[in-house]
Structure 1
Amino acid sequence: MTSHSKSCPPSADENTRTLRRITALRDWQAPANAGPPHMKIAVLDTETTGLDPLYDEILELAVAMIVIDKSGRIINVEGMCTGRQQPSRPIEPHITAITGITEEMVAGKAMSPEKIAAYLDQADACAAFHARFDRQHLEEFVPGISEMPWICAMEDVPWQALGYDGRAQGHLLMQSGMFNPVAHRAGDDVASLINLLAHQLADGRTVMSHALEHAQAPSWRLEATNLPYRFRKDVQRRGYAWADKHSLRHKLVRQADFEIERIWYRDLTGEEPSIVPVDWSQRYRADWTWKPVKREVEVAFFRR
């Protein structure tokens, strides 16, 4: 299968590369060296009316269940489930231009949060290319999946270290020797992602193997609790995001960078940051869904 190849197919000369169309999910075959089933993963994609999960709504959802072995080889693809939802507000023209979804395509359509939750509950984890986006939108629509582990193909794969440049799914797919002529529809993006996850890299491992390893590795949220105002620009430039609900800045840190980041913060402020362990069931959640660490602040009351 093309998705299991180690490199692009041979070309007429070394100055050209040949791209092959992705393997259709209905034609999926287990690689010859696959081991026994190890884990079931729901690979999904959402199309929405915009970027804000608290305001925008899901227009389309596609989910395909895959079965992998311990080495991250995709043994089986258990079909594709899709659904559409009519939003409460008109679809903006630029969203239709991006997604190809029109008002007529979603008119009268509705998805059941309960049925989606029950279906996803069959999986050991969810996987998406941009998990932060898909997870936050999906959890607003289906609160029952809030504790599901998540794998992010964009963030949980060390693409640069593996010899790739860029992090757009279509670009990564082409660098892997494949293309999908249809994009920005949920089902097609799921098919592209499954092919990308199955791709065998130069190190002999699949993309899924790397994604699963990094997803299951520890990480921590460093919270700039009670940060003095004079340091606000320092932490902002360092990549600390703003959590409006909790009125603090925070940063997700992986194991390789944890000690460096902790020392940097301590040297800057003279205090340790609040440190919250974040596993793959909590990573990529919206900041309004988690509870920050509370530190008691001593307040002195003076009387004349």
Structure 2
Amino acid sequence: MIKKLPQFPIERLSEILNRPKNFKLLERIPLTYNEQRWPLQLSKSVGDDLPIIILDVETTGLSVINESIIELAMVKAKYSPSEKRIVSILDVMSMYEDPGKPIPSFITELTGITDKIVQGKHIDDILIANWLDDYPLIVAHNAQFDRPFFEKRFNSLTNYRWACSATGIDWQTLGFQGRKLEYLLLQLGWFYEGHRAITDSLALTWLLYSLPQSVENLLYEANCKTVLIRAIGAPFNVKEQLKKRGYRWHNSAVNKYWWREINEQVLSEEKIFLDNLYDCGSKYADYDYKDATERFKI
């Protein structure tokens, strides 16, 4: 089951006061308090607020083909495109769904979600569609995972703009050495009990609110066009160079290739890299241009 956090060592308060440089204080994210109510105004509105959904799913496994959603959580919020910040949280929802098969034990260990919790439960399709009727930007911390599962389950809700807070924000430039949600918040002095869709989505909302630069970065990336490059015909002996460059291996029964998704603005540079790596590399490569409505699909 989910690991319990240790109690705060009140008996060591005098020690902390005497040696404050040797300790670091972590505070629970306020949005995750049980008594929190919605709506919640986070900052002053300047009148240009737009809708945003922060979304997370828990599933029975990693394969979108073979596995299913068991929990869907969404935070309905507003953001200011001019101020580059989260302005308010309008509502929060979490729903369970019975996958029709036993939940693997490792999923229960990770999330705490049991067969008993989801038994007979069903996500309300009409409610989900109503939550998205103002065409919000949908943000997930691993959109490459969440979007395919969401669109498999709700196959009429596939035309929305998606952004990924893990890959769509330059966390290194912002001073972080990783991009895991828990790590990012710990570095800012916050903690939460993760691996539940509702808690993770609230934690991501708090991260974006606490670090306005991340919102600015995310909105910029969401509005850019990207290019999915498939390095068709790349010889075996260049695989290490491709991996170092950020390419990933696609291995299916139909085709196999190295691929990478980049900002359209640096495509010319990437073509030069491929040509220098192997003969006619850019000529034989395949290019798939995408915007926020097309990224992270299956």
TM-score, reference length from structure 2 = 0.82
SS at match of 2:148: helix
Per-residue Cα deviation, 1:111-157 (whole angstroms, up to 9, x for no partner): 24454234223342101111111111111111122221111110111
Report the count of equivalent residues: 269
Alignment of 1:93-172 (within 5 A): 93-172=105-184
Residue in 2 aligned with 1:244?
252
- Residue 285 in 1 paired to residue 297 in 2? yes
Among candidates 61, 66, 74, match of residue 77 of structure 2: 66
Partner of 2:225 in structure 1? 218
> Which residue number corresponds to residue 280 of structure 2?
270
Letter of the 1:150 counterpart? W
Residue matched to 2:26: 19
Q: Hey, what does 2:9 align to over in structure 1?
A: none
Aligned to 1:3: none
Q: Distance in 1 between matches of 2:194 and 2:120?
A: 25
In structure 1, distance between residues paired with 2:248 and 2:116: 42
Once residues 25 and 148 of structure 2 are traced to their aligned partners in structure 1, the CA distance between those partners, rounded to angstroms, is: 37
1:16 Cα deviation from its structure 2 partner: 3.4
Amino acid aligned to 1:109: K
Establish whether residue 38 from structure 1 lines up as the match of residue 49 from structure 2. yes
Q: RMSD of the alignment, in Å?
A: 2.3
Q: Deviations over 1:5-27 (max 9, x none)?
A: xxxxxx96444332222122637
What corresponds to 1:260 in structure 2? 269
Q: CA deviation at 1:264?
A: 1.5
CA distance in 1, matches of 2:227, 2:169: 18
Partners in 1 of 2:58 and 2:162 — Cα distance?
Answer: 18
Q: Measure the CA separation in 1 of the matches of 2:46 and 2:251.
A: 43
For 2:228 and 2:213, locate their aligned partners in 1 and report how far apart those are by CA, in whole Å: 28
**Percent of matched pairs sharing the same residue:** 26
Residues 223 and 248, structure 1, Cα contact 8 Å, conserved in 2: no
1:163-202 superposed matches below 5 A: 163-180=175-192, 182-200=193-211
Shift of residue 183, structure 1, vs aligned partner: 1.4
> How far apart in 1 are the matches of 2:236 and 2:105?
43
Does the aligned pair in 2 maintain the 1:231–1:269 contact within 8 Å? no
Tell me which amino acid in the other structure corresponds to 2:268: E
Is the 2:229–2:261 contact (alpha carbons within 8 Å) kept by the matching residues of 1?
Answer: yes
Q: How many Å apart are 1:79 and its aligned residue?
A: 1.3
CA–CA distance in 1 between the matches of 2:198 and 2:268?
41
Q: Distance in 1 between matches of 2:274 and 2:292?
A: 24
Normalised by the size of structure 1, how large is the TM-score?
0.80
Match of 1:8 in 2: none
- C-alpha contact (below 8 Å) 1:221/1:277 kept by paired residues: yes
In structure 2, list runs of 5 or more residues that go unmatched. 1-15
Measured against aligned partners, the alpha-carbon deviations of 1:36-64 in whole angstroms (never above 9, x if no partner) come to 23310111110100111111110000111
Deviation at 1:100, TM superposition (A): 0.5
Q: Match for 2:163: what amino acid?
A: I
Q: Give the AA of the match of 2:53.
A: A
Q: Decide which moves more: 101-110 or 268-277.
A: 268-277
Point out where structure 1 has 5 or more consecutive residues left out of the alignment.
1-10, 287-304
Q: Whole-Å Cα distance in 2 between the matches of residues 134 and 31 of structure 1?
A: 28
Q: 1:228 to 1:251 in 2, by over 3 A?
A: closer
Q: 1:236 to 1:31 in 2, by over 3 A?
A: same
